[in-house]
Every structure is written in C-alpha cells, then in structure tokens.
A and B are shown apart, each in its own frame.
Chain A
Amino acid sequence: MTDGQRNISLPVLPLKNTVLFPHLVLPLVVGRPSSLAAVEAALKSEDKTLVLVAQKDPSVDDPQPDGLYTVGTQAVIKKMDRAEGQVQLVVQGAQRLELVSVALEDGLLRAQVRPIPDPQDTGPEVEALQRLVLEQATKIHALVQPQTPISVEQFLSQFSDPLHQVYLLGSMLSLDLEKEQALLEAATRVTALRLMHEYLTHEVQVLELRQEIANEARTEMSREQREYLLRQQMQAIQQELGEQSPEQAEAAELRRRFEEADLPESVRKEAARDLTRLERMPPAAPDYQLTRTYLELVLELPWSKSTEDILDLARARQVLDEDHYGLKEIKERILEHLAVLKLNPKAKAPILCFVGPPGVGKTSLGKSIGRALGRTFERISLGGLHDESELRGHRRTYIGAMPGRIIQAIRRAGVNNPLLMLDEVDKLGQGFHGDPAAALLEVLDPAQNFEFRDNYLNMAFDLSRVFFVTTANTLDTIPRPLLDRMELLRLAGYTGEEKFEIARRYLIPRQLSEAGLTAEQLNITDVAVEQVIARYTREAGVRQLERALGRLTRKVAVRFAEGQSAAVTVEPDDLKELLGPEKFFPEAARAKLPPGVSTGLAWTETGGEVLYVEALLLPDGKGLTLTGQLGEVMRESAQAAHSYVWSRAGELDVAESKFKDFGLHVHVPAGAVPKDGPSAGVAMVTALVSLYTGLPVRRDTAMTGEITLSGLVLPVGGIKEKVLGARRAGVSRIILPKQNEQDLAEVPAEARGELEFVFAQRVDDAWAAAIPQLAERLAEAEAA
C-alpha cells in the first residue's frame, strides 16, 4: 500500500544493463550479497515491495548510492525460489519512483522514494505519434517474424494507455541501457512516444540492412548452385553424346595405358588404387594433378623393359678401341667384366669407378662401354649435390615433389638395365638435409638395390640390373663405405705420344668439322702437333690440347671465310701467329743445379709433376726452417732427412760443425701450392747431402721415395703419373724405390724405353746415383 504523497523507504535492488518498466514482468537471478540482502528485506515485508533501479556502470559489482540512476521502478515480488546460493525472482513493475535519497544500511541499499504519477497528456500529437509507432512496430514485426499469426495492433491492445504500450515495446527491443532509462524517465507521453519512434526507426533501418545482406548472400549461393547444376547437366549431355571432357579423356587414357602396361603385381595393385581415386576425383581438386603426374611416372617407368646385352667381346674391343686410344689396361679390365657377364648372365653387373685427372676421358669411356654392351647410356652429375632427397626424391605430400635423380634417369633411359654414369662422385656435397653419399650406398649395394625405394614413387624398383659407372678425380673425398662398393680403375693420364695419337685420330677431325673445314683445307704437320702438345699445354688429359687445336682451326677458318682458297699447312713456325707465344718451356730450364738442390716427383690430381727441393745453410743460424706450404708429413720427412744426414756426417766427410753452427733452410717451390706426403724423402736427403758435401746433383735425374731414419727407401704411390710427369718435364733418369719396380709395368713402353731407371733400396743407393762426384769420392775412399 503506497501513499502517493508521502516519502517511503524501500530496499533497493540495483539492475545491471536493464530497467524494469511499470506493469511488466521480469524474471531475475540475484546473487550479489547486497542485492540478496535487499531481496530478503523485501520478503520480510508484508507487501513484498522493493525498488528496482539501473546502475550507471554495469561492470561495477558493488554499486554505491551515487552509482545509481535516480528514477527507478517500484516492484512486487511475485515468485521466489532459491537455488545454489542464488535467488530466482519474478518481479512485476508497479509504478515509477523517484529516488530522493539512497543510503547503505545494514549491508543493503535503502532509498527514500517518491512515486512519479503517470503523465496524462493527450491531444492530436499523442495520437499521431501513437500511430507512427504502431506503423514502425508493424514493419519490424514483418521483418523479423513474418509468419506469426498475432498482429502488433492486437498485441498492443492489452494496454490502453499509450505510455504502457511504449513500455511494452521498450521491453521487447534490445535497447541500450541509456535508451531504456531515457524511456523510463520520460515525463510526458509525447516524449516517450517520440523516443520510441526514434528507436523503432533505427531498428527498422538495421533490420532492412540485415535483410539486404542476407539476400545478397543468398543470390551468391544460388548462382554457384546454378553453375553446379549446369555442369552436371553438361556432363550428362556429354555422356549421352558419347563425348568426353578433356579431364575424363585424360583419365581414360591413363586407364588404357594402365591396362596395357606390363607392371609387376604389387605395382599394379598400388597404381590401380590411385587410378580409381583419380577417376572419381573432380579435375579441380588440388590432388588431381599430383595424382596424374604420379601415375604417369609409374606407367612410364620401365618395370620390366630391358635391352638385350651384346656380349660379343671382339665387337666390344673394337668399339672401345674406336673411341679411345691407349688405356690398354682399362680396356682389358672392362673386357674381363664383359666376359664374366657372357659366361654367367646372372652375374651382378660390376660397379666401376674411374679415377683420374680431368680430361682423360672418363665420361666418354663410360659411353663407350654402354655402346660396346648395347646398353642405354644415362648420366647423372653428382657434383655439388648436397641433398639426399635429390637422389631419393621427396615424399608425395610435399608441394612440387619429384622423384629423385636415379628414378628420373631410369625413366629417361626407358629400360631397367641402362648404363648409369654417376659423374663426379668425389664432389658430393654435405648438406643438412641428410647425406647424399649415404643414399648412394643403398643404390650401389647389390644386396639392397634390387628394391630401391624412391620417396616419391614409394614402391620398390629393381636397380640390380643397372650397370653403374662412377667417376672421380680423387679418392680422398669419397666416403670409405662408398669406395668399398666400387671397383677402382685408374686413368693416369696420357703420354705425349698418346696425346699425339689422340689429337690425330679424334681431336683434329672433330675440331675441323666444328670449324666447318675439311682435312684437305687444313693440314697440321706432325711436328706442329707435337709442339702444341709440348709448348702450349701442360696437363694429364687432353682438354687444353683440344681447346688449343680448336683455336688453331678457328683462326684458319677465319682466313677461309675471308676468301682464301688455297689449302693451309700449319708448320711449327706458324704456331706463334695462330696461338700466341709459347706458354710452357721444357723443364730443362735449369741447366745446372747448384749444390743443395734436387729434383723430386710429385703426384697431383692433374697428373705427375716435377718439383725441386732447395736447401741452404745459414751462417750463425740455428735449427731447421721449412717453407713452401709443406704439410705435416712432408715437414716430418724433412726433419728425418736432416737427422739422418747428420748421423752419417762422418762417412760423408762433412765437418760436424756444419750441422752445429749453421742453420738449415729447406724450401720447396712453387711456394703458393700446398704440398704434402712422404714421397719427397729421397729428394730431401739427396738435396741435403749435396748441400753439406758441396757436390751438385745430376740435373737430368729426378727421384721419389719415402725414407726411414735407418736409411731405408720405402715404396710410394702414383708411380705411373710421376714417371709420365717427369718425362714431360724433360727428365731422363729416375730414381725409384726398389719395391716400386713392378709398378713400371703400368708405364707405357715407349716412355719406359726413353727413360733410365735406378732402383734404390737404401738412401745410399739414391745419393750415389744422383751425385756422381760423391759416388767417385766414396769409391776412392773405399779403395783406399
């Protein structure tokens, strides 16, 4: 019971984000302690009345009196129930109240309130606004719930007072708190109706916009559906007409090839699955192209297609001889393998490794073997390859995945038993993506490679019938396990005679044809060719030689192009004009060697070389100085030589003081090239003996061999290269370790015939042979 004029005190329940309009019902859940206290206080009253008022800031949990609006609603609790510490209420608004003052008492807010009577203003404006509001509300109703049977007019008719109708609408719209509060505070009907009209108009606009957007989306959707339907129809029509889309034709072609292909059972099963998948796949699917490419690879691979080997030894020998001059030993080894294959066709093809300096014909030898055997030749260059997946492929899940180089080469070859040349196997890189050398291990192991699994292909492919040939310039960088699997064949380099023959038989005809000249137009005399070999090139192979001959023929070609018609004969004297000044001089440059200098022999990747060991005594110096980029082993070898010569000082008739009072400097030119290895030991000892005795070393004599502190001469490697290198350098006499005598068999006979060899067992033999005056002196001493 309220008395309209007197202030009364009521508990206050603050509302978050909403207001309660008079006459309307609101379900609430109350949890905040102060709110609970207010509800309890109201329940304790006879009339269950309290004030509901919105708090200004909805985020505040414990609102203070000044955080509340001053206009609220008197409300009666209609129902109450408790659950889990919260109180569920149904409250009904009674009338608007002005909160005269609010205070916190006993943990709850209490307000002195004064009722605000409902405004009673009437007139045409109220009526007009009322109709407008009804109009807009009807619009909204039509936009939101077009199919509800009840009309807005009927719905609003439950209230006769226009203000109450506004309250009803206000509770339906999801308005901001500020707008709701403004509606509640409206002092006249006109104000309330105007506000409501404004809100409704805004709402209509938003809803219309929403509908527009939804409609757009709908039309977009139906366009796509239309296209889809049309496509379906097109397909149906095509089928009816017996036509095929390009994609279907593609799939059908694959299917045809698949049926015809001669595939192993396991591969057929696997491929059939992929093919079925492809046929069901729409061509636009991202997997379509991937699957197609994959299937093409599978179908193209020569699973069971191979060539018949031609195992005719006479023919093979003829082919090898046609393509390559010399290289007798290599050819013999190759023929041996062919013979084995002939006698035992099931024998595993050997894995050959050609080792030798550049330009000696390793790659072309591989081609020749292929030709001799009648096998398809394919080449993979491994130089600089540093990713395992380059060899073994990427998994199909990667974008842009491809099979590895091995499988690609097999596909190119088109047969499963080609001759596969793995070039530059010594130049395999090491990356962080796995070790390619390790992948090669599997490829080159006959025990594993009959089921080589490429990551992309993901099926086992039999590589066991492939004839592998690898090439390398040096063995040092090839991993041991890999080296282990290969049969090494060394190509040491060519002698001048061999080069001459190669030039005559292959290089000159090739260069002539490349320059567009005939043999009649250009004749290079034998002497001129020898001069080009000796004075313009210095190499183990024949690449420089071929380039020089190429330059020569081009220069001559220019003359013919300019109108000359007479044939040209190139004499040695013409070379300066055609090739420029001579680049190399015969090594006899050192006409006479001073005491303390000896000629050593070195092995390099490009063949044998001559190098000099120079020693010098330093008055007032101390110790041993070594220069010339010498490696650890070579330095030790020099120290051993020094120590040994010192120990023999008496026999050599050298004053002890020479060792004690003088420093020793040993230098090995050329100073910029790193050198290492024990094989210069003999040359060092000889140089030192020559230095201390003051007797010069024979200049036509070169030497090689490792020494021990007890004076033994140990064998060294690379004898063939060293001998050929010495011969190129114009040396006529070579001192070799006794144990290397049998290696001379490798050296071509014509070279052997020109050279004189001395075999040393002990260091004494070496210096006796190298220093004639010392030999005489020692002989005299012995005689005496």
Chain B
Amino acid sequence: MRDSSSRRTPSWFLPASQAFHQAGFSPPVDIYRLARGWLLKFDLAGVRPQDVEVVIRGCHVTVRGVRRDWMIEEGVASYSMEIAYNSFARTIDLPCDVDVAEVQTEFRDGMLLVRLELQRSDA
C-alpha cells in the first residue's frame, strides 16, 4: 500500500481506553507512604532534568516536560521506535488533609523522585 495513510474505517466508538486524553504521554508512577509525607517515583528514563517541571498546587502534584531523543548522532538511523518522546504530563491527586511544607526532587537512575514533607494542619 503506497499510501501516506490508510483511511480510517468507519468504526464508531472505540473503547475509551484507546482514545488519548491529551497530547503527549503520561509516565508511570509509584507512590510510597513515608512516616511524614509521600514519595512519588516517576519513570522518566532518558529525560534530562532541565526538561522536567514539577508543579504543586494544593494537593495536586503535576509533573510535566519533554523527553528528547538524544540518539540523533550522525550515522545513526532510527529503525524501530517504541519509547514515547516529546511532551508528557502526569498529575497525582494526594489526600487533601495535609499542607505541603517541603519538596525535594532528585534524579536517580532515570527515575524522578519527588519527596513531600508534610506539615500537620493543626500545627
């Protein structure tokens, strides 16, 4: 088929999971409970630290950024591609009984660790 694109077959209403909510991908995340706070571990392998932005608004933690492919040297051609590049975003809703007092971010082995120190609201 020498065609730039195959025309979509008129299949109505795909399962919802197949439609993407937003442009870009959302990286997987592990959430850990700490004695006094939360630890979020985002799988951001291959993402440069300066391309990541962490936004905390109330009890919503949003991590977004861009994964750039740095294997674009001369003499290297892409043969097959499965890793998602370009923009990504992920928002985590935490229980809203806390105020965030302190945030630490750290890149370790391709993972972004976001540590949230909580302060009791009654304090």
Contact = CB atoms under 8 A, between A and B. Distances in A.
B4 interface: yes
B68 A46 contact: yes
A13 B23 contact: no
B3 A31 contact: yes
Residue from B20, B21, B68, B82 having most chain A Cβ neighbours under 10 A:
B20
Contacts of A168: 19
Contacts of A141: 12-13
A212 to B, nearest CB: 20
B19 A158 contact: yes
A16 B16 contact: no
Contacts of B66: 1, 47
B12 A13 contact: no
A92 B88 CA distance: 13
Interface of A is mostly: mixed
Interface in A3-52: 13-18, 22-32, 35, 40, 43-49
A173 interface: yes
B79 interface: yes
Contacts of A78: 25, 84
A284 interface: no
A82 interface: yes
Interface of B is mostly: loop
A174 B12 CA distance: 10
A655 to B, nearest CB: 111
B12 A28 contact: no
Given A172-B13, A174-B8, A47 B85 contact: yes
Residue from B9, B20, B84, B86 having most chain A Cβ neighbours under 10 A:
B86
Contacts of A171: 8
Interface in B58-108: 66, 68-70, 72, 77-82, 84-87
A140 B4 contact: no
B1 interface: yes
A351 interface: no
Given A16-B4, A92-B23, A82 B12 contact: no
B69 A46 contact: yes
A82 B79 contact: yes
A43 B78 contact: yes
A362 B34 CA distance: 133
B85 A148 contact: no
Given A31-B2, A44-B78, A94 B23 contact: yes
Given A81-B80, A172-B10, A29 B5 contact: yes
Given A29-B6, A32-B4, A77 B81 contact: yes
A26 B8 contact: yes
Nearest to B11: A172
Nearest to A168: B19
Interface string A80-107: 1110001000001111000000000000
A77 B72 CA distance: 15
A142 B112 CA distance: 47
B4 A13 contact: yes
A491 B85 CA distance: 117
B121 interface: no
Nearest to A81: B80
A657 interface: no
A1 B67 CA distance: 10
Contacts of B15: 150
A29 B68 contact: no
A152 interface: yes
Contact of B5 (A28, A79, A173, A174): A28
B7 interface: yes
A318 interface: no
A155 B20 CA distance: 12
A144 to B, nearest CB: 6
Given A23-B20, A40-B77, A76 B85 contact: yes
B20 A24 contact: yes
Contacts of B85: 46-48, 76-77
B2 A32 contact: yes
Contacts of A40: 77-78
Contacts of B81: 43, 48, 77, 79-81
A159 interface: yes
24 contacts: A13-B4, A18-B8, A23-B21, A23-B23, A25-B18, A26-B8, A29-B3, A40-B77, A44-B77, A46-B85, A47-B68, A48-B81, A76-B23, A76-B85, A79-B81, A80-B78, A80-B81, A94-B86, A95-B23, A145-B12, A145-B13, A174-B8, A174-B9, A174-B10
Interface of A: 1, 13-18, 22-32, 35, 40, 43-49, 61, 76-82, 86, 92-95, 140-141, 144-145, 148, 150, 152, 154-155, 158-159, 168, 171-174
